[in-house]
Amino acid sequence: MSSEPGCMALDLANDLAGLLAQALRENRTRFGADTLRAFDLGCFPWHGYLELSFLTTDEPGLRNDRSPFTSVADWRFYDFVPGWPAARHIAAAMQREWLASKDRKATADACFRECAQALRSETVGAALALYSRAPDFVLLVVNSDDPNSVNYCTVA
């Protein structure tokens, strides 16, 4: 996050990638029969919280006239590692940055970018290769407080 204005030098992406890969490997058997359509890393620096959620191809109640990604909390595997204990220190570091920042929007943006970098890493990619994924599988990191948020996994 050091490239963002007003942020202390934090480089959390590598640590976060390792923890993501670990969580994916540890939870693999829970999702053996499911084909994944999306993996969302919920990032809430204002709350000091990170959450992992999967959307499967057979989610009940998804409608064709709206994006299935607009309501992650409705996904069957929303926050599948509640409180994600292994990553609490990273979530807490992000919250400290956000609370101390003079430009909280830029700091939150930096946190989302760190999460996206971790999610797009080779380490996480190797762990995700253990799962059955749909052809249209996507990685998601969005600002849940912004209904027009970009997916940070798709921007440089």
pLDDT tens digits in sequence order for the chain, 156 residues long = 444 443 444 578 999 999 999 999 999 999 888 999 999 999 999 999 999 999 998 886 555 545 666 688 888 999 999 999 999 999 999 999 999 999 999 999 999 999 999 999 999 999 999 999 999 899 999 998 888 889 999 986
Alpha carbon of 141 to those of 34, 100, 121: distances in Å?
A: 21, 23, 13
3 state SS of 15: helix
Tokens of 43: 């990032």
Tokens of 135: 């052809």
3 state SS of 141: coil
Tokens of 42: 């919920």
What is the residue whose two structure tokens read 């994924």? 133
